[in-house]
Every structure is written in C-alpha cells, then in structure tokens.
Amino acid sequence: MTHEPQKPATDYFTANLADGLPYRIRKTVLIVFFDAQGRVFIGLDAKRHVWDLPQGGINKGETIEQAFYREAREEVGLEAVALRVLGGLPHPYFFEFHDKGMNRKWAGKALAVVAALVPDVQAIDLNAGHDHEGQAFTRHGFDAIDALLAEGSLFHQAVPADRFGIYHDVLTSLRPVAAALANGSSGTGILPAIALNKMEFWQAAVPQCGGVVSGVVERT
C-alpha cells in the first residue's frame, strides 16, 4: 500500500518554508521596553511561570514594525500613542528549540529586536491579552540592565542558557540607550531604524542556523 506524500498546509507559517527543507524557523519580534529611567521591562510569563521579555511571532504579510505594535497591544495593553519607538538592532538573532518533535510547528526562532520607551508605565495593562491570545504576563517590573545580566539574577535563572546568551548580547547592545535615558536624554538617535521585513535582514540569521533558510527568508 502506497501513500501520497502529505502536502503542507497553506497557512501563515508554511508560506515561509523553503521547498524541501524539514526545518521551520519562526520569525519573531523581541521587544525591549524601557521606562524613563532606562530600566527594562520584564514580565512573569503566565504559561511558563518564568521571567521573560515580551515577544511574539510575525504573521504572514506583517512587517517587523507592524508585529511590534500588535504584540505591544496584545501582551501589555500598550497602544501606539503610549509608546516612543527608539529603533531596532541591525541583525536578527537565532536560537533552536531542542525538542524538534513531529508535533512542534517550529524548530527555532529568528528574533528581530525592537526597543521602545514607555513614558507612562501606568498605561501597561497585563489583562489586555484576554481579548487576543490569553494573558501573556501575570506580573511585571522594571529592572536595570546590569541587574538583569548579573549572574544569579532572577532573570538569568529563569531563561534557558542558550536564550540567555542572546538576551545578554541584546541587553549589552542596548546599554547606551539605557544610559542615555537614565541621564535624562530622549534615547533617540542611538539605534538604527526598525528594519523593514525584507529578505536581506532575515538572511543574516541563516549562518546561525546552519544554512537552514526555512522561515528566515520572506518568500513572496
């Protein structure tokens, strides 16, 4: 008895698959929110019960900027008027899921990092996600970058080791922004603009994932 090969579903993630590759890399926006003192937002993940940074997948047809605004609204209840975008890091980061079983949609993530200032932290509403994909965080706070990077910190213990290495690089790259805000500056003009959702940006993640392109390159 022979079986016809299963055809992939035509949904938003298979649109990013390179033909013939068994790998799926989820394009994701990682958000670093700052308060006016240059401290970084961290939230207690409602599902995994670990402290983490806000993040979410980039849907088919979305730019990085569009995904940023959507995730800001869905995860912490912040509308565009409550935010001041400070820019993005110029290249993506990649990490692999270690349990790449048949039931897992994704084998890893390529992260586009966006930084933004929240002038009024009272505008944060952790219950906003109930109208979308469920509550993202149950608690939140703001902490200094150096405290988050410190060995033995709550953040360091909660985040998996391979992902913490990425977060360490991300937060280290954002130190100049934190310092500027802490000194009363606007924090603008330090980072490049948010990258457009173009092939060239995502291709920078390809060497990190062993040349596997699926999901990293926008296929239009």
Ordered by start, the domain boundaries in the chain are: 22-209
140 SS3 class = strand
Question: What would the pLDDT profile of 203-213 be if each residue is shown by its tens digit?
Answer: 777 666 654 44
Residues 6+ apart with CB under 8 A from 165: none
Instruction: Give the separation between CA 119 and CA 117, rounded to whole angstroms.
Output: 6
For 141-183, how does the pLDDT look when each residue is reduced to its tens digit (9 = 90+)?
999 999 999 988 888 888 877 788 899 999 999 999 999 999 9
Q: Rounded CA gap, 104 and 91, in Å? A: 26
Task: Look at the block and give the residue holding tokens 């990085």.
Answer: 64
- The stretch 4-31 carries a mean pLDDT of 52
In DSSP terms, 139 is beta-bridged to 44
CA–CA separation, 46 and 11 (whole Å):
27
Q: What percent of the chain has pLDDT over 70?
A: 76
Cα three-residue angle 211-67-120, rounded to 5 degrees: 130
Give the SS3 label for residue 86: strand
Q: Rounded CA gap, 9 and 7, in Å?
A: 6
Chain segment 18-56, per-residue pLDDT in tens: 323 335 778 899 999 999 999 999 999 888 888 899 999
What is the helix (H) or strand (E) element at residue 117, kind and residue range? Answer: strand 108-117
Write down the architecture of domain 22-209 according to CATH.
Alpha-Beta Complex (3.90)
* Whether pLDDT at 70 is above 70: yes
Up-side HSE of residue 176: CA atoms within 13 Å toward CB? 9
